[in-house]
Amino acid sequence: GAPGDVNSNVLVARSTGDAQLDKAVWQWLSWDKNQKTKEQIESLLQDGKHKELRDRLCCRLTFGTAGLRSAMGAGFCYINDLTVIQSTQGIYKYLERNFSDFKQRGFVVGYDTRGQVTSNCSSKKLAKLTAAVLLAKDVLVYFFSTYVPTPFVPYAVQQLGAVAGVMITASHNRKEDNGYKVYWENGAQITSPHDKEIIKCIEECVEPWNGSWNENLVDTSPLRQDPLKKICDSYMEDLTKICYHRELNEQSSLKFVHTSFHGVGHDYVQLAFKAFGFQPPIPVPEQKDPDPDFSTVKCPNPEEGESVLELSLRLAEKEDAKVVVATDPDADRLAVAEQQENGCWKVFSGNELAALFGWWMFSRWKENCSPDADVRNVYMLATTVSSKILRAIALREGFHFEETLPGFKWIGSRVKNLLDNGKEVLFAFEESIGFMCGTSVLDKDGVSAAVVIAEMATYLQGQSLTLAQKLVDIYETYGYHISKTSYFLCYDPPTIKRIFERLRNFDGPQSYPRCCGVYNILHVRDITTGYDSSQLNKKSVLPVSKSSQMITFTFQNGCVATLRTSGTEPKIKYYAEMCALPGHSDRSMLEEELQKLIEALIENFLEPAKNGLTWRSA
> How many whole angstroms separate alpha carbon 120 and alpha carbon 70?
16
Cα atoms found within 13 Å of the Cα of residue 215, Cβ hemisphere only: 15
What residue spans of 265-386 are helical by DSSP H?
265-275, 306-319, 350-368
Helix pair 152-160, 228-239: axis angle to 10 deg: 100
Indicate the SS3 state at residue 568.
coil
- Are 49 and 95 within 8 A, CB to CB? no
Q: How many CB atoms lie within 10 A of CB 352?
A: 23
- Please list the residues that pair with 111 across neighbouring strands: 168
Cα atoms found within 13 Å of the Cα of residue 38, Cβ hemisphere only: 13
Q: How many residues in the chain?
A: 618
Say which of 171, 252, 387, 540 is annotated catalytic. Answer: 171
> Judging by beta carbons within 10 Å of its beta carbon (0-12, 13-18, 19+), is residue 376 exposed, middle or buried?
exposed
> How many whole angstroms separate alpha carbon 561 and alpha carbon 605?
12
- Dihedral of CA atoms 420, 422, 423, 426 in degrees, nearest 10, equals 80
> Judging by beta carbons within 10 Å of its beta carbon (0-12, 13-18, 19+), is residue 524 exposed, middle or buried?
buried
- Are 557 and 593 within 8 A, CB to CB? yes
> How many whole angstroms separate alpha carbon 184 and alpha carbon 413?
9
Query: ω into residue 302 within 30 of 0, thus cis?
Result: no
Maximum Cα–Cα distance across the chain = 81
171 counts as catalytic = yes
- Are 597 and 509 within 8 A, CB to CB? no
Q: Show which residues are catalytic.
A: 171
